[in-house]
Structure 1
Amino acid sequence: MASGEDDDPVIEEIDVYLAKSLAEKLYLFQYPVRPSMSTYDDVNHLSAKIKPKQQKVELEMAINTMSPNYCRSKGEQIALNVDGATYEETNTYSTKIMDKQTFASIQATTNTSRFAAAVFRKGELHITPLQGILQLRPSFTYLDRADGKQREREAANEGGDSSQDEAEEDVKAITVRFSRPESEQARQRRVQSYEFLQRKQAEESWVHLHYHGLKDGRSEHERQYLYCQAMDASDNSELVKTPKEYLAMLMPPLAEEKIVRPTGPSNVLSMAQLRTLPLAEQIKTLMKNVKVMPFSNLMGLLATGIDSTAVLRCIQQVALLVQGNWVVKSDVLYPKNTCSPHSGVPAELLCRGRDFVMWRFTLERWLMRKEVAAIIKLPPEDVKDFLEHMAVPRINRGWEFALPNDGMFIMKHPDVTHRQQMLWLGIQSKLEKVFNFNKDDFIPKNAPAQESVHVSGEQRLKAAQERARQSQPSLQRALLAKRREAPPGSDVQVKQEPLSDGEDGEQPMDTSSATAGSLNGAINGYSGAGSPASDHANGTAPPTELRDFVSKTFKRDSVLTLSELKRLFNLHLASLPAGHGSALMAVSDRMLQDAILLSQCKQILVPFPPQSTAAPDEQKVFGVWETGDALDKHRRLLYELFSSNFRVRRKVIQTRLAQEFGDDLAKTDVDRLLKECCGSLSGWWYLKGTTQS
C-alpha cells in the first residue's frame, strides 16, 4: 500500500462548496443545431417566456435582414404566406418580412440530480445543482399558420365545398342523456387520456421574462450567486461526510429510482423506449396507437434484424387481417371491466360492435354509418369511433377502408391468410347469433364463392398450356376461313407460330384477342365515340369475370387511367383464393380495354402538359359515359371541357354547366360531380389520374 501511495501522490487538495442560491432556478441551455463556435450571445433577444412546471422555454431572436447571406425575397414571401396581404395587430411579422425566429425547448433528460454547474475560483470549486437541461431548436409554428391561410384561400376559391362525410337531414332528433356517476376506472382513464393531459398543460400560463445579455450588469450580479454564500463549514454540512458515507454517495446501492417525470401523455413512447420492451409488447403498443397498418410498415418500425416469422406470430395475438392489412383487435382497445368514454357502454358490447365493422370491411371497401348503427344499435359516438379506427370518410359516399388491399402480403403468406379466414368464419357465426342477420345480405354481388380447393402454380401453368394447345386448331381454321372470305386485295395474312410456354415459368399470354383483331384491321386508339374491338364477334369476348370487375370498379371510381385500372386488377387477382380466377390469368391490355368499352365507358382524350413524364398507359384516361342517372349529361359536358385543357377552374365548370343546362343544378350535385371525376390542386381541377403534383 505504501508503494502504491508513493506512485500516486496527492498534488493538491481543493475545497468543494455547494451553492444553493440558484439551485431551483438554474437551467442549462443547449443548441444542438448550432455550431459551438457560433453563439447567440450577440444576437438581439426580443422576448423570452417559460412554463416552470413543464420546463418549457421559448426565446424569440431577431434575424439580421441586412446580412449578405439573407435572401430578402424569401423572407418577404414567408411573411406574406403567414400574415397575408392585410396588416393587422396580430400579424407575426409586422415589418412584412421574416425578421425573427422562435426557439422552443424540449427536455434533454428528465433526471438532473447528478448534474451541476461548477465555477473554480482561488483554489475553491463551487457547484450549483441544475433544475433542468433544455435543448432549444428553431420552432416552425409559423408554417402551420401559413398552411391555415392556404387552406382558407383554397376553400374560398372552391366555393366552400361540403366536408360532411354523409348527407344528413336538416332536422335531427335531439337525444337527452343523463350522465351517470363516473366510476373510478373511468376517471383514471379520463385523467390519463391525451386530451386531458394536453388541456392540463395548456392551463399553465406562460411567465414572461426579461433577457439580459452576457455583459449586462444584471447578469454579472446574478453570476455571483454561483458562489457559495456561507463559507463556514458548519453551515455547509452537506459535503462533510465520513469516508463510508461519502463512498455510499458516490456508489449508491442498486435500487429502482423513482424519477419524477414531467406531465405528459402516458401512452406515448419514443422509439428508443419502445425498443427496450419485449417484441410482443412493442407490437401491441404500436397497434394500439396506429390501429391499422400494413405488415411492411410494421417491420420498418421494428429494429432491424428481427425475424418476420416471430413478428407474424406476435401480430396475430393482437390484430386481425382485413384486406391484407392488420387491424388491432377490439379486446386490446377495450379491455374487460372498462366502458366507453363517450356513452358508458360496457367493453363487451363495444367489442361486438367493432368486430361487426371489421367483418364488414373484410367483404367490401365501403360502409355507411347509418346502416352499421341500425344493426349494432350503439350510440353514434361509439360507431364513429369504430369507423375512424380503420376508415376515412368520403363526401356523400360513406366510409372507405383506410388502406388499399395488400395483395402482396396475401400472396407471400397464404398460410397466415387461410388461418385468418378461418378465424373470421368463427367470428361471423358469433355475430350472426348476436345481431340476428343473414350473411348473404352483406356479400357483394358477383363475389366469387369461397372454396377450400388449393391449386398449385405448376398445375395452373399446365392447365393454361393445355388450353392454348387445344384452341390452336380452331384458331387456325378461323384464320383460314377469314382469309377465304376476305375480298381480293385485302391485306390478310395467316402466319403459324409455335406456342410459347412463357418465360421464367410465367403463364403464356392469351394472344387470341390480338390475332382476331388483326383480321379486321388494328384499332388505332379508343376515342370518345369509339366502340369495342370486334373480338367478341369472333368468340373472344372479354371473360365475364373481367367485365364484372371493370363494371364494379367504374361504379366506385368514375374516371380511371388504364395504368391505375391494371394496378387494381392485379390486386384483385392477388386477393382471389387459390383455384379462382383462372380465366383472368392471361388477360391482355386489349382485352382489358374492350371490357372498359363494354361497361358503358369511353376514353377521354385529355391533353397532358408538355413537360409531363406520364407513361402511355397513364395517358389513356377512361370515364363512365352512361349510368342512367340524371348527371350523365353533366358528366359528358365535363369530359368535353377537359378534352381541350388538362386543368380547369371551378368557376369555368359552373359557368359552362349553367349555360348548357340552366341554373337548376344544385351545388351539391356539382360537388358530387367534381368529387367523382376530378381532384383539386392549388385551385385547379384535374381529371383523376392526370394531377401533376
Structure 2
Amino acid sequence: MASGDDDDPIIEEIDVYLAKSLADKLYLFQYPVRPATMTYDDVNHLAAKIKPKQQRVELEIAIDTMSPNYCRSKGEQTALNVDGTGYDETNTYSTKLMDKQTFSSIQATTNTSRYAAAVFRKGELHVTPLTGILQMRPSFSYLDKADNKTREREAANEGGDSSQDEAEEEAKAITVRFARPESEQARQRRIQSYEFLQKKQAEEPWVHLQYHGVKDGRSEHERQYLFCQTADASENSELVKTPKEYLTMLMPPLAEEKAVKPVGPSNVLSMAQLRTLPLGEQVKTLMKNVKVMPFANLMGLLASGTDSTSVLRCIQQVALLVQGNWVVKSDVLYPKNTCSPHSGVPAEVLCRGRDFVMWRFTLERSVMRKEITAIIKLPPEDVKEFLEHVAAPRVNRGWEFLLPTDLDFIKKHPDVAHRQHMLWLGIQSKLEKVFNFSKEDFTPKITSQPEPVHVSGEQRLRAAQERAQANQPALQKELDARRGGNGVHVKQELLDEPMDTSSPCSSSSPSIPNGSVNGYPSATSPDFDHANGGSPGNAPAPELQDFVINTFRKHFVLTLNELKRLFNLHLASIPAGRSVFPSISDHMLQDAILHCQCKQIMVPFPAQSTAAHDEQKVFGVWETGDDFDKHRRLLYEVFTKSYRVRRNIIQARLTQELGDVSKADMDRLLSECCSSHAGMWYLKGTIQS
C-alpha cells in the first residue's frame, strides 16, 4: 500500500474475531430436496439424535395430517403396512396414521477447514469454524420395516411343525472348520468392504438430543456463543503475516487437495488415468482386469491412433493366445512370493495349474472341472477361480470358453499365431513332465461306426422297384401254381403287401437318427454354429431350395418344426397332380436350409425345457447381401449365450461392435427375428410355454 492506489481506496477497516465457543459443535444443515423459501423453522420437530464421530444426524419432523394436500387413505395404508394391525410401544406410527417423516444426513464434504459461520455486529465480524456440513434428506427406512413384516407373515403361513424341524436339525452332522490365519492383504480388503463399514457405523451409539426452534429462548442464548467473548478478544493480536503467507493460508497448496480425495473402488479402472501410463503398462493393466479379450476390443480401449504393431509387441509380453483371443499370463496374476487368497498355495504352483487349464482350452471348447481337479490336484476354490477367468459353466457341457474363436485375428496375423502355437508346445512339454500325462489322453476317440448314409426318397423308391422286378419271376410261378379259382385272391394279397422302401444298404449301416444335425455328426467347430459344415449329399432340388429361400427371406428366423409346418401348408396349396416335390425327410429339409445362406443358431435351452426336439433346432438367415446382415449375426451370437435376453443387452452388444445403433434399426431387428414375453426377448418360436 506504500505506492498508493488512488483508484482503489480503503473505505472501511473491520476487525475480525475468531469465536471458539462452538468450534467443535457447529453444524450447517442443508435441505437439497426442499426449496429455500419453504423452511422447516415453523414445523414441529419431534425428536433428534446424532452420532458425533460419524457426523450422522436424524430428525423426526411432524407431518400436517390436516392439510388439504395430505391423502389420509394413503397415510393409513402406509401405517398399516409398517406396523400391522397390532399395537405396542415399538410401533412407528402410534396414531395408525403416517404423521411424521424422518430426515437422515449425509456429509456434503469431509474437509470443512475452509468453511465458517460469520456474524456481523457493531463493525465487528465474528467467525466460528464449522465442524461439519450435512445434507438432510428424507429417509425411507419405514419401507424396509414394511418388507420385514411381509416376510414374517409369509414365513408364518409357510411354517410347519417346529418339533419336526428341531428333530431334523439334531440329526444333521456338524462340520467343524478352523479359520486360516488372515493375511494382511485379506485384512485390508475386509476393512474396506461395505459390510465392515456398515458394522463399524452401527457400533457407535446414538446420542439423543432435544430440539429447540429458532424463536426459542435457548436458541437465542446459544446464538450468543457465535460472538467472540470479551476475554478472548484481549488475547487476539494483529495479523503479522506477509501477503504471500496470508494467501498461502487462504489457498493451501494443491498437494493437500490430493490427500483428501476419496479413493475409488479397487475393481474400477479409470480410463482417464490409464491413458497417462506407458503403452506397455496400459496393456498389462487392461489384461489384468479383463483376463480374456479379443485383440479388436483391446485396440478399442486404447487411445485412437495407437499403433497396432506396438500393441502386438506389448500384448505378447503379458498374455497368451487361446482360440484367437488373448488371455493374461498366469505369472501376471500370481507374481512371485505371493500365495492364493483362498488356500495359501504358492504362486508357482498356481501358475502351473492355471497354465494347464489354459492349455486344455487350446484343444477344445469345453472342459470338465472334475477332470482338471483330478490332474492338477489343487483346492476346488483355486480351480474354480482359474475357470471363471476364461470360461462360463454350461448345463451338461462343463465349462465352455467365454469367447468364440477369433478367426479374423488368426488370418490377419498368421506369424503371431504360429509363434504362439510354438510357445504352447513348449508349455505343453513342461506340463507333461509335471503332471505326468500325454496329449493323446485328451484327444477325442474316433468311433469305428460307419458314417450315416444320406438316402433320398427317389433312391428308396428306385430300390423298391428293382427288388420288385427281381422278385417278379418267383411271383409269377406262385401265381401259376395257384391258378384254378383263387388267382384273383392271391393277386389281391400280393397287391396288399406293403412295399419295402428301406435302403439297399440298411442292413450294414445304422439308421439316421432324427436328432442329429443334418444326419451327420456335428464337428467341434470354434464358431457358435457347430453344424454348418458342408453336406456330403447332393444339392437339394431347385423347387425345395426356392421354397426355403423365400420362406426365410420372409420370416428370417425359424425353428425346424415351424418350417415343416409351413412346408406342409405349401404342399397342400399345390393342385393335385402338379406337385414336383418327392418324399422330403427332415434331413433333406435341413440340408436345404444350410444350402440357402442360413445357419443353425445353437440356442442354450435350459435342461428342463419342455420344447420338442425340432423346436430346439433354430435356423436364421446368415447372408442376404445387405448391410443389415451384420446386425443379425451379432443378434444370433447374443442368443448363443442365453435363450432369452433383455433389450439393453442386445443394444450394448450392437453398440460395442457397430457404434451407435438407431432405435429404428433396433426395432427392425427385433421385429424380424424375435418375439417378446414378460419383458424378455426370444428368438421366434423359442418362447417356452
TM (norm. structure 2) is 0.55
Gaps of 5+ in 2: 161-170, 447-520, 575-581, 624-631, 637-669
In structure 2, the partner of 1:49 is: 49
| Higher mean C-alpha displacement, 115-124 vs 79-88 | 79-88
1:19-69 deviation per Cα after TM superposition (whole angstroms, max 9, x unaligned): 111112222222222222122222333333333233233333333333333
In structure 1, the partner of 2:126 is: 126
3-state SS of the aligned residue for 1:114?
coil
**Amino acid across the alignment from 1:33:** V
C-alpha separation between the residues in 2 aligned to 1:297 and 1:64?
Answer: 58
In structure 2, the partner of 1:62 is: 62
User: How far off its partner does 1:18 sit?
Assistant: 0.8
In structure 2, the partner of 1:267 is: 265
Change (3 A) 1:270 1:388: closer
C-alpha separation between the residues in 2 aligned to 1:275 and 1:62?
Answer: 47
| Higher mean C-alpha displacement, 202-211 vs 332-341 | 332-341
In structure 2, the partner of 1:102 is: 102
In structure 2, the partner of 1:457 is: none
1:403-429 deviation per Cα after TM superposition (whole angstroms, max 9, x unaligned): x9777x969988899989997994984
In structure 2, the partner of 1:10 is: 10
1:160-209 deviation per Cα after TM superposition (whole angstroms, max 9, x unaligned): 9xxxxxxxxx97794755745x6655655555555544443443333333
C-alpha separation between the residues in 1 aligned to 2:158 and 2:393?
Answer: 19
Change (3 A) 1:58 1:71: same
User: How far off its partner does 1:75 sit?
Assistant: 3.6
In structure 2, the partner of 1:34 is: 34
3-state SS of the aligned residue for 2:5?
helix
In structure 2, the partner of 1:222 is: 222
Change (3 A) 1:28 1:620: closer
- Residues 328-343 of structure 1 aligned to structure 2 (within 5 Å): 335-343=335-343
Contact 2:324 2:407 in 1 (8 A): no
Contact 2:599 2:619 in 1 (8 A): no
User: How far off its partner does 1:306 sit?
Assistant: 6.4
- Residues 272-421 of structure 1 aligned to structure 2 (within 5 Å): 275=272, 278=275, 307=304, 335-350=335-350, 373-380=373-380, 382=382
C-alpha separation between the residues in 1 aligned to 2:91 and 2:413?
Answer: 56
Percentage identity across aligned positions?
59
| RMSD of Structure 2 on Structure 1 (CA) | 6.6
**Amino acid across the alignment from 1:339:** C
Change (3 A) 1:233 1:50: closer
C-alpha separation between the residues in 2 aligned to 1:208 and 1:444?
Answer: 76
In structure 2, the partner of 1:675 is: none
- Residues 554-593 of structure 1 aligned to structure 2 (within 5 Å): 554=605, 556=607, 558-559=609-610
C-alpha separation between the residues in 2 aligned to 1:87 and 1:329?
Answer: 63
In structure 2, the partner of 1:135 is: 135
3-state SS of the aligned residue for 1:539?
helix
In structure 1, the partner of 2:22 is: 22
Change (3 A) 1:337 1:249: same
- Residues 423-462 of structure 1 aligned to structure 2 (within 5 Å): 426=424, 429=428, 448-449=523-524
- Residues 141-220 of structure 1 aligned to structure 2 (within 5 Å): 141-148=141-148, 174=175, 177=178, 179=180, 187-188=187-188, 191-192=191-192, 195-220=195-220
Contact 2:295 2:409 in 1 (8 A): no
C-alpha separation between the residues in 1 aligned to 2:122 and 2:442?
Answer: 90
User: How far off its partner does 1:438 sit?
Assistant: 7.0
TM (norm. structure 1) is 0.55
Change (3 A) 1:543 1:112: farther
3-state SS of the aligned residue for 1:212?
coil
3-state SS of the aligned residue for 2:572?
coil
Contact 2:615 2:686 in 1 (8 A): no
C-alpha separation between the residues in 2 aligned to 1:553 and 1:183?
Answer: 41
In structure 2, the partner of 1:536 is: 585
C-alpha separation between the residues in 2 aligned to 1:212 and 1:25?
Answer: 15
User: How far off its partner does 1:117 sit?
Assistant: 1.2
Change (3 A) 1:389 1:550: closer
3-state SS of the aligned residue for 1:225?
helix
C-alpha separation between the residues in 2 aligned to 1:341 and 1:135?
Answer: 40
1:567-621 deviation per Cα after TM superposition (whole angstroms, max 9, x unaligned): x8669x89xxxxxxxxx99xx9xxxxxxxxxxxxxxxxxxxxxxxxx98987899
Contact 2:548 2:592 in 1 (8 A): no
Change (3 A) 1:34 1:372: farther
1:634-661 deviation per Cα after TM superposition (whole angstroms, max 9, x unaligned): xxxxxxxxxxxx9xxxxxxxxxxxxxxx
3-state SS of the aligned residue for 2:205?
coil
Contact 1:64 1:70 in 2 (8 A): yes
C-alpha separation between the residues in 1 aligned to 2:392 and 2:88?
Answer: 37
Change (3 A) 1:375 1:67: farther
3-state SS of the aligned residue for 2:225?
helix
C-alpha separation between the residues in 2 aligned to 1:190 and 1:94?
Answer: 41
C-alpha separation between the residues in 1 aligned to 2:146 and 2:334?
Answer: 39
1:439-493 deviation per Cα after TM superposition (whole angstroms, max 9, x unaligned): 77598997744589xxxxxxx9xx99x999x947x445x99xxxxxxxxxxxxxx
Larger radius of gyration: 2
**Amino acid across the alignment from 1:556:** A
**Amino acid across the alignment from 1:267:** P
- Greater relative contact order structure (CA < 8 Å, 6+ sep): 1
**Amino acid across the alignment from 1:345:** V
C-alpha separation between the residues in 2 aligned to 1:291 and 1:346?
Answer: 20
C-alpha separation between the residues in 1 aligned to 2:118 and 2:55?
Answer: 22
**Amino acid across the alignment from 2:5:** E
C-alpha separation between the residues in 1 aligned to 2:548 and 2:379?
Answer: 66
C-alpha separation between the residues in 1 aligned to 2:367 and 2:5?
Answer: 83
In structure 1, the partner of 2:572 is: 521
3-state SS of the aligned residue for 1:215?
coil
**Amino acid across the alignment from 2:572:** G
**Amino acid across the alignment from 1:10:** I
- The alignment of Structure 1 onto Structure 2 pairs a total of residues equal to 528
Contact 1:410 1:417 in 2 (8 A): no
**Amino acid across the alignment from 1:205:** P
3-state SS of the aligned residue for 2:246?
helix
**Amino acid across the alignment from 2:265:** N
